[in-house]
Amino acid sequence: MTETAAWGKAAIHIAFDAVWAAMICCGLAYAYNTRARDKRNLQRILGANRFEEPSLPDVQGWVSQAAKESHRYTFSASQRINVVFKGNRVTLFYGEFGFHAQNGGWVVRVALFALATPDQSHWMRQNKKAFALDYAGEKHCIYAVNMANLIEDLDR
């Protein structure tokens, strides 16, 4: 191999490494910004609490009941927020949602969820930008919440 070919090969490797490093940095920056945005959105929603009922123990009881009804899912609530969304009262809770993975293990995520009665569930299904059904029980349904879309339509 000539000296020129060796230098060209080295330059290609250096350029390739630089591209990988840039991609990793961009990925980390995106993950950091997304996490920071989610934290800000959660704080804005927590500050939008409009009424006291139902209380956190009530919500924890309903979430616990949903987990007992389900043989596939588990839920927990560590905080609750009662807001008005498009003129409707909505009870949100921050907590864990877990389910059995196909490999036999558990997948658990911590996020913001909405707790709905079957009557509320009808209009929540019509607001797909903000709510996505995770669990439908006899007495309560649990929806994943898209915080950015929820904030847009919160009544202040």
For residue 120, pLDDT beyond 70: yes
Strand duo 141-145 + 88-100: pairing: unpaired
Task: Say if CB 97 and CB 134 are below 8 A apart.
Answer: yes
- What confidence tier does 143 reach under pLDDT thresholds 50, 70, 90? very high
Q: State residue 75's pLDDT score.
A: 86
Q: How far is CA 49 from CA 27, 84, 110, 131, in A?
A: 34, 9, 20, 18
Give residue-wise pLDDT tens across range 4-33.
655 656 556 565 665 555 555 544 444 445
How many angstroms from the chain centroid is the CA of residue 68? 22
pLDDT tens sequence across 36-86: 766 777 777 776 677 788 888 999 998 888 888 887 888 888 888 888 888
pLDDT at 25: 52
Q: What is the Cα–Cα distance from 72 to 68, expressed in whole angstroms?
A: 10
Q: Return the pLDDT at 32.
A: 46
What per-residue confidence (pLDDT) applies to 30? Answer: 47
pLDDT confidence band for 131 (50 / 70 / 90): very high
125-154 as b/e: b if 16+ CB within 10 A: eebeebbeebbbbeebbbbbbbbeebbeeb
pLDDT attached to residue 31: 43
pLDDT at residue 132 is higher than 90: yes
**Cis peptide bond N-terminal to 57, omega within 30:** no
The whole-number pLDDT of residue 13 equals 59
C-alpha–C-alpha distance, residues 111 and 139, integer Å: 22
